[in-house]
Amino acid sequence: MDCLFEAHELKTAHLGPLELQLQPGELVQLTGASGSGKSLLLRALADLDPNTGEVRLAGAPRDLMTPVQWRRQVAYVPAETAWWSERVDEHLPADFSRETALHLLEQVALPEESLHWEVERLSSGEKQRLGLLRALLNQPRVLLLDEPTANLDLENTRRLERAVRTYLAEEEAAALWVSHDTLQRQRLGGRILTISNGQLEAPAWS
């Protein structure tokens, strides 16, 4: 199987050099102690923080894309998503598909009218679900998920897990998912990578 996403000799001020490969449809979990650099790695892969090394998407070097093009395809979704305008729909891609939006809203159990809600009325959990929807509407090839269910109850956590799994399967995309929840890690399955001393390691039990 051809590699979808790869980083070679990736290095930041606090991490690396690191090697990483993700296959189409794959969900890889990322763990590590608090402060080990999990968010820093995701931000470096999304090219949001200074870094060096070679990063490729479907064989295409990151350097051949503009930062905006790269971040649409390699989407970083933080635990606390940023909102800068009054209404939810003002944060969505201008050319988003209404059909796709309705499909995603159904998967995360939000009504169609939530696209027009004012941001200030959103709960932290609604912000997380709509933040993921916002990223998915760009149809990214890679999702960098930084504790995307931290503010959700178990029912909505499982909904979001299923939504991500469905998206990866349908679009042959890949995800790198940060989680501190042991039960969630068991549900998600797949490869688990741990950041320790600035390096990526695969636990013997993964």
Label residue 160 exposed, middle or buried (CB < 10 Å: 0-12, 13-18, 19+).
buried
For the entire predicted model, the pTM comes to 0.94
Say if 32 falls within a structural domain. no
Give the C-alpha separation, 105 to 99, whole Å: 10
Which whole number is the average pLDDT over 73-100?
A: 92
Say if 63 falls within a structural domain. yes
Overall number of domains in the chain:
1
List the end-to-end C-alpha distance of the chain, in Å, as a whole number: 21
What average pLDDT does the structure give for the chain? 93
Which candidate, 34, 38, 5, places its Cα nearest to that of 140?
5
Say if 102 falls within a structural domain. yes
pLDDT in tens, 38-64: 999 999 999 999 999 999 999 999 999
Give the C-alpha separation, 147 to 31, whole Å: 10
| Rg from Cα positions in the chain | 16
For position 116, what pLDDT does the model report?
94
Give the structural domain span for 168: 5-21+37-178
Say if 127 falls within a structural domain. yes
DSSP string, 114-156: GGGSBGGG--HHHHHHHHHHHHHTT--SEEEEESTTTT--HHH
Q: What is the CATH number of the domain that holds 149?
A: 3.40.50.300
pLDDT in tens, 163-172: 999 999 999 9
